[in-house]
Homo-oligomer: A and B are copies of this chain.
């Protein structure tokens, strides 16, 4: 068993990591930190883990984590992650960071959307952890920047199409919706059951922080600058993201060509499910799993092609992909510990 640790275990990505590591055949959780719950048994906070995680939450001490664990997951907010990563790496641990701190390659872009960066020297070293597209670089990486949840749902369908020049790089619109766990486990009025249930609305419509991350990776795939129109919405449910993406096919390109491009790239991918014509992704079918479902259809009125991608924002959109990255970094089977299927219903 390979010892791993989690910095920041009190949020939803932290507890999802604990769940996945507890069921992993080769990883063992040796430490999990939380300022809020320091000293308390994990199972007293998260009853679902009772009998599966016997640890108490401990204080966040990077050196102690790096001594105890070969790999540390950072499940803390941005800013906190960049403060801890250098110490963890210096102490010999490898790191999968679930925050945004090392996802943007350009320090200026990061600082425009977030805040001053205190560990810019690591931006070059960090590998972007979208496993299906960076599988070559992840195994040797010391520091992996785990992609954002919305971002994964937008990149997975678009990257193969842009790389092959099948769709226009202009005018792409990503209309996405997420379950409320994407906003974290924060005691805010806006996240109460009373505000979420039987409600649907858009938010951050003039600039969600996932936009530059999407544009960075899409531009790399397209070989030209992409400016994306992105609109996130908040769903009355816990988990799941669906992105509906409007693209303009290049002259003569058909829906079938896009499907073929997906199949060429993804046919052997264990976590990517390309749905047959007529079937459309549904968040419930991937809930709690590391899967992405992809589907597409041509709009007969406009000729635009609609792409659909569904995933669980906490699993493939965060902690599941983090474990997938850890598997690659540690030389394990990429699917280890990630085989669960969604519940029906």
Contacts and interface: CB of A to CB of B under 8 A. Distances in A.
A181 B345 contact: yes
Interface string A169-181: 0010101010111
Contacts of A341: 19, 22-23, 48-49, 52
Contacts of A235: 200, 235-236
A199 interface: yes
24 contacts: A19-B341, A19-B344, A23-B340, A173-B246, A180-B193, A181-B345, A187-B188, A187-B192, A191-B194, A193-B238, A193-B345, A194-B345, A198-B198, A198-B239, A198-B240, A199-B282, A199-B284, A201-B242, A203-B280, A205-B297, A205-B306, A228-B302, A235-B236, A340-B340
Given A197-B345, A205-B306, A205-B308, 15 more contacts: A19-B343, A44-B279, A47-B293, A48-B287, A48-B341, A49-B344, A50-B275, A175-B175, A197-B197, A200-B283, A200-B284, A205-B280, A227-B301, A236-B236, A288-B343
A280 B297 CA distance: 29
Contacts of A16: 343-344
Interface in A223-247: 227-231, 233, 235-240, 242, 244, 246
B12 A344 contact: yes
A243 to B, nearest CB: 10
A37 to B, nearest CB: 11
A328 interface: no
Interface residues of A, number: 90
A266 to B, nearest CB: 12
Of A46, A201, A227, A273, the most chain B CB neighbours within 10 A belong to: A201
Contacts of A306: 202, 205, 229, 231
A299 interface: yes
A116 interface: no
A87 interface: no
A293 B199 CA distance: 13
Contacts of A237: 197-200, 236
A207 B300 contact: yes
Contacts of A201: 242, 280-283, 310
A342 B345 CA distance: 14
Interface string A306-329: 101010000000000000000000
A113 B77 CA distance: 40
Contacts of A44: 276, 279
A121 interface: no
A339 interface: yes
A202 B235 CA distance: 14
Contacts of A188: 187
The 4 closest A-B pairs by CB, nearest first: A194-B345, A199-B284, A201-B282, A47-B285
A308 B239 contact: no
Nearest to A36: B189
Contacts of A202: 242, 244, 280-281, 306, 308
A51 interface: yes
Given A193-B191, A302-B171, A344 B48 contact: yes
A194 to B, nearest CB: 3
